[in-house]
Amino acid sequence: MNDRRQFLSIAAIGTATAAFFGWRPTTPAAAAETFPYQLTDAAWRKKLSPAAYRTLRHEATEYPFTSPLNNEHRAGLFSCAGCALPLYSSKTKFDSGTGWPSFWKPLPNAIGTRRDSTLGFTRTEVHCRRCGGHLGHVFDDGPQPTGLRYCMNGVAMTFTPARTNA
């Protein structure tokens, strides 16, 4: 009996850890929706890095404090790594201390959201409006004026610095 309980406990911890760090046993929710920008799975694999593919197409989560975009402080735009749709302005980026690039507001008509209960509790998943790529999650513990924290996977985005007048 003790061995069975230990096995079940270890299995539950392993499953929760795998789910948190990106492994999903089912098809991503975005697969059930239609988006304006679509590619075949093979084309997505060819276009994206392995980490970006796992994140954008299979709702993985990158490890905290691993994205160079977390420390990006120049003026510019953060765009979807899948389809290049501008998502966030650097004007709304802030240091949340979580280890992921965080923003208090997306650009107009840039993102979509859906309910995410994959970890056993409900969160709000954020995806690119154009390609459906998984970006991260939004929480209600951000700064004013919105009080929201869009906690994004840096690997799901690219950064383009603002042009400066010379």
Active site residues: 151
Distance CA 96, CA 87 (A): 18
Where does residue 65 fall: left (phi above 0), alpha (psi -120 to 50 degrees), or beta otherwise?
Answer: left
Radius of gyration (C-alpha) of the chain in whole angstroms: 17
Distance CA 56, CA 39 (A): 12
